């Protein structure tokens, strides 16, 4: 009987020591904010958004192809649906585009002066329509974690217009 209780105490004491030495398994690991920021910053290895027709190109050419396809689609739409300006215009506007995780492209905003917005009142609605004509894109991929990510791009657009006489 004595040996059973001694064995019981030894096993109990062993389990107690084992539980104390295993506490490190339950410690949380805190990753510094700087490390998280560095890992989530865009790098050359990450894949930019693209269109299916640009996929066979090298990464640099894919980016150019993507941006050119957007620019040509917008310019084609503007040429087919000419804007009427109430003033002479020679300005640049910037289209702020958002490409979500599903590859849908939306016009987030237009950076333009009040002068150009007053001169071409329907400009923003027209640009939204042009962007909606784009095919669905392949979303950007953050390759170090293999995750599809939402990205934004700025597309400058130079606008020249002459007042009709």
pLDDT value, residue 143: 77
Q: Examine the domain organization and report whether 28 and 47 are in the same domain.
A: no
Q: Are residues 56 and 29 in the same domain?
A: no
Domain of residue 103 covers 42-161
Per residue in 35-46, pLDDT (tens digit) is: 666 666 666 777
Same domain, 21 and 58: no
pLDDT at 15: 66
- Tell me the average pLDDT of the chain: 82
121 and 96: one domain? yes
Chain segment 64-108, per-residue pLDDT in tens = 999 999 999 998 998 898 887 777 888 999 999 999 999 999 999
14 and 84 share one domain? no
Tell me, yes or no, whether 18 and 61 share the same domain: no
Residue with tokens 């894919």: 62
Place 22 in a pLDDT band, splitting at 50, 70 and 90. low
Name the residue with higher pLDDT: 5 or 140.
Answer: 140
Q: Identify whether residues 99 and 74 lie together within a single domain.
A: yes
Q: Same structural domain for residues 156 and 87?
A: yes
pTM above 0.85, yes or no: no
Count of the separate structural domains present in the chain: 2
Number of alpha carbons in the 13 Å side-chain half-sphere of residue 148: 11
SS (H, E, C) the chain: CHHHHHHHHHHHHHHHHHHHHCHHHHCCCCCCHHHHHHHHCCCCCCECCECHHHCCCCHHHHHHHHHHHHHHHHHHHHHHCCCCCCCCEEEEEEEEEEECCCCCEEEEEEECCHHHHHHCCCHHHHHHHHHHCCCCCECEEECCCCEEECEEEEEEEEEEECCCC
What would the pLDDT profile of 115-135 be if each residue is shown by its tens digit? 888 888 888 999 999 999 999
Residues 88 and 118 occupy one common structural domain: yes
What are all long-range contacts of 39-44, with beta carbons under 8 Å and residues at least 24 apart? 39/144, 39/145, 40/142, 43/143, 43/144
């Amino acid at each position: 009987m004595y040996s059973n209780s001694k064995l019981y105490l030894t096993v109990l004491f062993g389990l107690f020591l084992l539980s104390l030495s295993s506490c490190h398994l339950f410690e949380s690991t805190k990753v510094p904010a700087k490390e998280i920021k560095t890992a989530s910053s865009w790098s050359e290895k990450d894949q930019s958004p693209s269109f299916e027709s640009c996929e066979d190109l090298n990464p640099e050419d894919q980016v150019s192809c993507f941006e050119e396809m957007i620019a040509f689609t917008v310019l084609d739409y503007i040429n087919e649906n000419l804007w009427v300006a109430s003033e002479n215009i020679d300005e640049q506007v910037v289209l702020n585009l958002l490409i979500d995780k599903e590859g849908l492209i939306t016009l987030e905003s237009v950076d333009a002066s009040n002068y150009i917005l007053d001169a071409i009142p329907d400009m923003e609605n027209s640009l939204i329509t042009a962007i909606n004509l784009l095919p669905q894109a392949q979303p950007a991929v953050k390759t170090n974690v293999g995750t599809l990510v939402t990205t934004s791009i700025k597309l400058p657009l130079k606008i020249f217009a002459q007042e009709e006489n």
